[in-house]
């Protein structure tokens, strides 16, 4: 099997995701204190969500946890942006290079492409956390990103395994 370059838009999408992951890492490295301050101020406007009690010593600890978790979500987006961007590129190369029919390739490209939206759940959670709290943010993001787009990526990988295995089996039978 000769390796073939995926469609240019697929490569471009991978580059964009990888670039956004890199931008998140640069932002995390350059502005951690600004992100923490912004998060703290946003969380203060929703005291009931975070259990703020109006006592500075107690609230400081709670707000530090919220800002730390927000930074952690940005870091997770950074890692997933890189990882999913690279994984998707490799999957696109395999799909492009395999001898699948055009309809099978379209299905695999579609599910793999949808899976590229998975990391944006972490970025969304970063913005929601100061407003809705950790658990509510996770539940919302799980329904909006992790289940549909993570599921699409898992489905794409298993379909690719199935179709690729089927192609190998056909070749072995010859």
Evaluate whether residue 125 is within a structural domain: yes
Evaluate whether residue 100 is within a structural domain: yes
Share of the chain above pLDDT 90, in %: 97
Q: What is the pLDDT of residues 59-98, one digit of tens each?
A: 999 999 999 999 999 999 999 999 999 999 999 999 999 9
Evaluate whether residue 162 is within a structural domain: yes
| pLDDT reading at 174 higher than 90 | no
Share of the chain above pLDDT 70, in %: 100
Q: What phi-psi label fits residue 15: left (phi over 0), alpha (psi between -120 and 50 degrees) or beta?
A: alpha
Determine the average pLDDT of the residues in 92-114.
Answer: 97
Evaluate whether residue 126 is within a structural domain: yes
Evaluate whether residue 3 is within a structural domain: no
Cα distances (angstroms) measured from residue 137 to each of 39, 66, 113, 159: 14, 12, 24, 31
| pLDDT reading at 121 higher than 90 | yes
Evaluate whether residue 1 is within a structural domain: no
Domain of 94, in residue numbers: 8-173
Evaluate whether residue 2 is within a structural domain: no
Any residues with CB less than 8 A from the CB of 174 and at least 6 apart, and which? Answer: none
CA dist 112 and 115 (Å) reads 5
pLDDT at 55: 94
Mean pLDDT score of the chain: 96
- When divided into structural domains, the chain yields a total of 1
How many alpha carbons lie under 13 Å from residue 42 in its C-beta half-sphere? 17
- Under DSSP, the state recorded for 74 is H
pLDDT at 1: 78
Evaluate whether residue 99 is within a structural domain: yes
CB atoms within 10 A of CB 143: 11
Helices (H), the chain: 8-30, 32-44, 47-50, 56-97, 102-115, 120-132, 134-141, 151-173
| pLDDT reading at 23 higher than 90 | yes
Q: What is the pLDDT of residues 30-47, one digit of tens each?
A: 999 999 999 999 999 999
Determine the average pLDDT of the residues in 139-156.
Answer: 98
């Amino acid at each position: 099997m000769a390796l073939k370059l995926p469609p240019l838009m697929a490569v471009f999408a991978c580059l964009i995701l990888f670039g956004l992951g890199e931008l998140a890492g640069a932002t995390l490295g350059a502005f951690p204190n600004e992100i923490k301050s912004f998060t703290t101020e946003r969380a203060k406007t929703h005291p009931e969500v975070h259990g703020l009690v109006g006592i500075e010593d107690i609230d400081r600890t709670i707000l530090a946890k919220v800002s730390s978790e927000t930074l952690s979500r940005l870091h997770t987006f950074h890692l997933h942006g890189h990882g999913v961007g690279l994984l998707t590129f490799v999957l696109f190369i395999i799909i492009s290079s395999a001898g699948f029919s055009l309809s099978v390739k379209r299905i695999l490209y579609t599910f793999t492409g949808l899976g590229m939206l998975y990391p944006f759940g972490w970025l969304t959670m970063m913005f929601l956390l100061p407003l809705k709290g950790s658990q509510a943010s996770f539940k919302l993001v799980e329904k909006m990103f992790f289940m549909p787009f993570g599921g699409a990526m898992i489905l794409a990988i298993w379909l690719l395994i199935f179709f690729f295995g089927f192609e190998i089996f056909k070749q072995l039978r010859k």
